[in-house]
Structure 1
Amino acid sequence: MWFDHRLVMRPSPIHGVGTFTTQDITAGELLILVTGGLIYTREDRDLGRVRLAGELYNEEELPTGELIVTPKVFHYYINHADEPNIVDLTRHPASTQYVALRDIRAGEELTARYL
């Protein structure tokens, strides 16, 4: 997991909590890179083999039917916008790579278009 040092979480006027910049960002810059996570089956979860503080993780289903969890940090708090300023280049549950679509000013909230 890697996050640009210029990112912080703050209350968002869009929805609850958001990810914001503390300094200007240039178009094309990598801002967030997350790969991997804890992978397990529904059976593992249901039988208590995997015990997590659920509110701290984002769980998604992989194409194989297995589940993957990653900690809820900056990438989890990217809110939707019709005209986003960042994009996830991977669009895959086991990997996230957000880059700036355009120059982003200090204090601006990072937003992406949800599919």
Structure 2
Amino acid sequence: MTIFVDIGSLEDIPPQGARVVKTAQGCVAVFRTADDQVFALEDRCPHKGGPLSEGIVHGDRVTCPLHNWVFDMNSGQAQGSDEGMVRTYATRVRNGRILIDATLIRTSRAA
């Protein structure tokens, strides 16, 4: 059984924006799309370590702010790169609250 933990309100993240959740395993970028889908990815581009939370959200993709690598937020896979991949985390939105899979991360605090 998957356990989810509440990390905040959907309204805390602007459409096509992101917030960072600090965890015991590192920072996780939580994204909100224009149509209110929510995705959570490791907040570090494997190319040059760029903060994906500062990238541009377009559809279900995010573009790294440093060197324009584009990641599919469903899979974490970089487009056009066999080596570029970031970890993804399961999310849900329930009653306007964002929930993230607690079995994959241990939240130390929301940023």
Normalising by structure 1, we get a TM-score of 0.27
Instruction: Calculate the TM-score normalised by the size of structure 2.
Output: 0.28
Q: Which one has the bigger helix percentage? A: 1
Which protein is richer in strand relative to its size?
A: 2
